[in-house]
Amino acid sequence: MLDQATIAVIKSTIPLLESAGPALTQHFYQRMFSHNPELKDVFNLAHQHSGGQPLALFNAVAAYAKNIDNLGALAGAVERIAHKHTGFLIQPEQYHIVGSHLLATLKELGGSAVTEEVLDAWGKAYGVLASIFIGRESEIYQERAAGHGGWQGARPFIIKEKRQESEIITSFLLTPADGKPVLTFKPGQYLSIQLTHPELEYQEIRQYSLSDAPNGRDYRISVKREPEGQVSNLLHDVLQVGDEVALMPPTGDFVLQASSTTPVVLLSAGVGLTPMLSMLNQLLANGHDAEVRWLHACEHGALHAFKQEIQDKSRQHARLESRVWYRTPGEQDVAGRDYDFAGTLSLEQVTDLIPADAHYYFCGPLGFMKAVKDQLASLGVPADRMHYEVFGPHQDL
């Protein structure tokens, strides 16, 4: 644990951190990739270019400094980040590299305000945090390896099936090359896929939500084509049935946790429906005793993935009700057949469908999730009944 003198020094640097802002972590990443280019095979460089990862890291560093005397407040963030790290196969020795560049960044950007006392305090504080992450990540690695069908590291899988779900979303059914069982997972979790290909400058790792209930045999992910996405375009256009990819075990802390008598409302927009679909299929497979609501929003019918599947399930399961919003319905889209409402998702339009004691799981673009959270709060839903996942670097809503 940290002594009070070190804690005091860390807290004294909060104004310095806040004045530097994300420029601090942008400099950190530039420095680290310059000195250790091998890490470009680990980090998602697209998130570097977008600024999402530097912002997420800055928020994490600032939160650590502000809660340095109450690390329990960071338990949720530590768990989420540790799961992410295991998906990228982060190893203990890499924490030393990150720590050295973080301290060097503080020294280079902080000027005279960053004294040896400050560097020493941050060195100690980083050491404590690194130990927490290394310990938790070791546990996760061991849990994934010890489970039935489990493994550690990258495991070869074959693309068994490739199916287009909409104009921009394609599903991939992935089966283990060795024909052995696969580790089960909790609906809401994701897979990390590792790709090396002549079209890619570096080895790339991406994380995609599992889009079906666990079965012990194979996994399904459903991938949105991003206009500038190297990996998503490679998956859509180049990789075919029979090709091999490498997967890390399923992981993630956004998981379905509902008793059989708990009403569940699943809300999504666009490709955010993928973890929701995994949750839905598990609920239906278990014969969930309470009401289940599927509320989905997308641009129009051409981008509406899994439409027929959800309509079929709604007819087959009396406790499942589905409602769909198209922001800009197309000429071929028919109200009452393809969608229920035009415009953006509004809970006021379906209040009669929502049980008072429901738990809410939601995923989609950040603006959509912020709007959902605000609507839920306005309806009096407590925070502990709201559960959400941000694709990519985490942000608070």
SS3 365: coil
Residue 190 labeled ligand binder = yes
Q: Say how far apart CA 174 and CA 192 lie, in whole Å.
A: 12
Which of 29, 64, 95, 361 is an active site residue?
95
Contacts of 378 (CB under 8 A, 6+ apart): none
Residue 273 labeled ligand binder = yes
Residue 392 labeled ligand binder = yes
Quick check: 265 and 256 in contact, CB under 8 A? no
Quick check: 119 and 106 in contact, CB under 8 A? yes
Q: Say how far apart CA 123 and CA 191 lie, in whole Å.
A: 33
Degrees, nearest 5: CA angle 390-56-364 = 15
Q: Say how far apart CA 375 and CA 325 lie, in whole Å.
A: 16
Which of 29, 64, 126, 137 is an active site residue?
137
Residue 206 labeled ligand binder = yes
Quick check: 22 and 60 in contact, CB under 8 A? no
Residue 85 labeled ligand binder = yes
Distance from CA of residue 320 to its chain's centroid?
26
Q: Does residue 348 have an active-site annotation?
A: no
3-state helix, strand, coil in the chain (%, to 5): 45, 20, 35
Residue 250 labeled ligand binder = no
Residue 101 labeled ligand binder = no
Residue 106 labeled ligand binder = no
Residue 275 labeled ligand binder = yes
Q: Classify residue 146 by burial, with Cβ atoms within 10 Å: 0-12, 13-18, 19+.
A: exposed
Residue 209 labeled ligand binder = yes
Q: Say how far apart CA 57 and CA 48 lie, in whole Å.
A: 11
Residue 118 labeled ligand binder = no
Q: Does residue 95 have an active-site annotation?
A: yes
Structure tokens, 363: 């995923």
Residue 271 labeled ligand binder = yes
Catalytic residues: 95, 137
Residue stretches of the annotated binding site: 85, 190, 206-209, 270-275, 390-393
Residue stretches of the annotated binding site for NADP(+): 270-275
Residue stretches of the annotated binding site for heme b: 85
Residue stretches of the annotated binding site for FAD: 190, 206-209, 390-393
